[in-house]
Structure 1
Amino acid sequence: MRLIRCIYPIAVLLFAFACGEKNQSCELDPEILVQELELNITRLEDEFFKANTTKDFVFLLEKYPEFAEVYLEQKNYPSPDSLASSLLAIHQDSAMRVLYDSVKAEFPDISDIQRDLTNAFKYIKHYFPDFKTPKVYTFVSGLNSDLVVTQDMIVIGLDYFLPADHSFQPDIARYMAERYEKPFLVPMIVLAISSQYNAINPQDNTLLSEMIYYGKAYHFVKAIMPCTPEQYIIGYTPEELAETYDNEEFIWSHFVENELLYETNPFEIRKYIGEAPFTDAISTKAPGRLGRWLGWNIVDDYQANRDVPLPELMRESNAETIFRQSGYRPRRPE
């Protein structure tokens, strides 16, 4: 319960956050941005809601075969006509029409999303020249799917990213729903893309391995989107970030004293890695996923200590090597 006694008034927390957050430059590199990269985002919700007949939907399924196969899971239907009939019934539902109208009102223009994604893709291609720009679609999923990210295609369920006070909300826990705001959208996509480059040792099933995996993933997002505040990468509020930085020494002591780094029990690992409103093994005031946050700090120290380029960092699959060579020590609050 020690973490509870370390909570300070909001003004102090915000000051601690400003001092504690990793001090990386937020200026985008003009040499990276100058490279040519064309990204067009197709707003499929418009095309699908304009369709009025089964024939119209069959045409769209044929026009976007990858979307039909991966996102709509066409293989689960006996025929394209069957899927088209199902889509027609869904899109004629009055609630779906209201949801579509809400999305159009909230996202009449997505040029800012396109700009941020384009810049992120340029950064990825700079570090990983084999990266190929995927097709990007937006859609209204009926709150059934937030994001689908593959090497070839990205589908954004815009209805998941309506404001938190909107009457339509996804059926997920409140603490998770708060992360489905527009500023989280592109970082979430980049985080998903990071898995393509995040090498792991499948034989290592320790908590440390999980911590380093997520630490590399968050480090990847910050490298690709250097102007993005940490809160939109890990999904902590500024107050939660302030508290974790201010209590980093205590958090690290908890992991060391309880010999958690080499824990292999999945139930124990989930306490520190899995989605939860708080890390109750430490305190009900401690945000969830503290193992991921701690892994991020370790990875950052490893990169800074050894000046490892991003591709080399992502290829390093030995969590023990990263930990030992990081020289990690908790930062003491100033």
Structure 2
Amino acid sequence: MRAVKILFLLAVVITLFSGCKHNPLKVDISDIDKEVEVVPFDEGLFSLEGKDTLQAFVELSNAHPDFFNLYTYRIIKIGGIGDEQFGELMKAFITDTMIQDVKALTDKEFSNYTKLEKQLKKAFKYYSYHFPDKELPTIYTYISGFNQSVVTAENIIGISLDKYLGRNCGYYQQLSTTPQYKVQNMHKNKILSDVAFAWGITEFEEPNAATNLLGNMIQKGKLMYLVDAMLPAVPDSFKIGYTPQQLEWCQMNEPQMWTYLIEKEMLYTTKRMNIVRYINDAPSTSGFPLDSPGRTGVWIGWQIVRQYMKKHPEVTLPQLMANNNYQKILNDSGYNPE
């Protein structure tokens, strides 16, 4: 009996240790000194209410010259500070009843702003670990009036905090331009992966490099692997924006999806509509069952890249991001889900 008990305990220990998979992306960043700057731009903007606005806007513009025009031209789209009606339009924006209410909701949702700031800084320390020579962006947070969630420009990332107020935010139900499947990702746990993915597109994606579905899948898969590297402790569901049920569906149906793409000769299709149906966000993937999520092509590309990097530990993240030989990545990955 004693021998049986010892064997049983050994079996339990082996099972526990075999289940603990080492994540090679959980690297030591304690010695990384470079740190991204996070600027709460909305605090500066809304503090100007009731002041000599045009002069105050000029001062705010001087304080943030690289971001101010991006904000006024591209995000809230009211033009530039030199335009005749700029002061009135800006004043109307920050005093608007809805915007004021949204600002209050945002302040409540992000009352622990320091936590978000620390998370962003940590993500970019991981980025600096892999890309020590790359310049870090400055990150600005703000109220956009429900415009783009994340915008990027040269050395700039902008985050619309009012696009991350939670799935149950009443305003999201009123936005006719925002379908319900997108609303499921409008919560603060999605900010980090949205930022990492958007920055990856800005820094590494070559728009004309991928000409067929396979190329697009692996191109997006590389970006998802960059998200892995910047956010090694974040759950996959938050990284790709799936519910736990959708993620489980992909894991359970991975072999069937891959077989379908091969049998239907989809991997090398260059038809835009065929590429879009597997790559773009949607309530489900056309051609797959209705309970499938959208962007399943991105998810499969992500698994291919993960398998490639697991099989080739000598490949660095910069080498991966520079490799646009998508067919070779597939071949060298040995990807064959069963």
Letter in 2 for 1:329: N
Q: Distance in 1 between matches of 2:178 and 2:205?
A: 30
Output the CA distance in 2 between the equivalents of 1:132 and 1:92. Answer: 36
Could you tell me which residue of structure 2 aligns to residue 8 of structure 1?
Answer: none
Matches within 5 A, 1:53-92: 53-73=53-73, 76-77=79-80, 79=82, 82-92=85-95
* 1:93-242 to 2 correspondences below 5 Å: 93-169=96-172, 171-198=177-204, 200=206, 202=208, 204-242=210-248
For the pair 1:43 / 2:40, whether they are aligned, the reply is yes
Amino acid at match of 1:215: G
Partners of 2:150 and 2:198 within 8 A in 1: no
1:25 is matched with: 23
For 1:241 and 1:318, locate their aligned partners in 2 and report how far apart those are by CA, in whole Å. Answer: 28
Is 1:214–1:292's contact at 8 Å kept on the other side of the alignment?
yes
Structure 1 residues 237 and 96, CA gap change in structure 2 (3 angstroms): same
**Any gaps of 5 or more consecutive residues in structure 1?**
1-20
Task: Say which of 279, 282, 285 aligns to 2:285.
Answer: 279
User: In 2, distance between residues paired with 1:293 and 1:252?
Assistant: 11
Alignment check: 8 A CA contact 1:201 1:318 kept: no
Aligned to 2:6: none
Larger gyration radius, structure 1 or structure 2: 2
Specify the alignment match of 1:326 in structure 2. 333
Asked whether the equivalents of residues 25 and 227 of structure 1 are also in contact (C-alpha less than 8 Å), the reply is no
**In 2, are the aligned partners of 1:197 and 1:314 still within 8 Å (CA)?**
no
Matched residues in 2 for 1:24 and 1:215: separation?
A: 21
Q: Which shifted more, 304-313 or 197-206?
A: 197-206
Gaps of 5+ in 2: 1-18
Cα deviation for residue 179 of structure 1 reads 0.9
The TM-score with structure 1 as length reference comes to: 0.86
Counterpart amino acid of residue 86 in structure 1: L
Per-residue CA distance 1:122-151 (angstroms, 9 max, x = gap):
111111112222222211111123211234
Alpha carbon RMSD of aligned pairs, Å? 2.3
| TM-superposed deviation, 1:239 | 1.0
Q: Could you say which structure has the greater relative contact order, defined with CA pairs below 8 angstroms and 6 or more residues apart? A: 1
Match in the other structure for 2:307: 301
Q: Deviations over 1:27-55 (max 9, x none)?
A: 843x3233213344221212211212233
CA distance in 1, matches of 2:241, 2:93: 32
Query: What TM-score, normalized to structure 2?
Result: 0.85
C-alpha displacement of 1:214 = 0.7
Q: 1:242 to 1:160 in 2, by over 3 A?
A: same
CA deviation after TM superposition for structure 1 residue 312, in Å: 0.7
**Separation in structure 2 between the aligned mates of residue 147 and residue 200 of structure 1, nearest angstrom:** 19
Alignment correspondent of 2:317 = 310
Give the Cα separation in 2 of the matches to 1:22 and 1:188: 28
- Equivalent residue, structure 2, for 1:266: 272
Cα deviation per residue 1:160-219 (whole Å; 9 max; x = unaligned)? Answer: 110211222254111111112111101111111112443548254100010001100111
Give how far 1:80 is off: 5.1
More displaced stretch, 57-66 vs 101-110: 57-66
AA partner of residue 323 (structure 1): L
Give, in whole Å, the separation in 2 of the partners of 1:195 and 1:204: 13
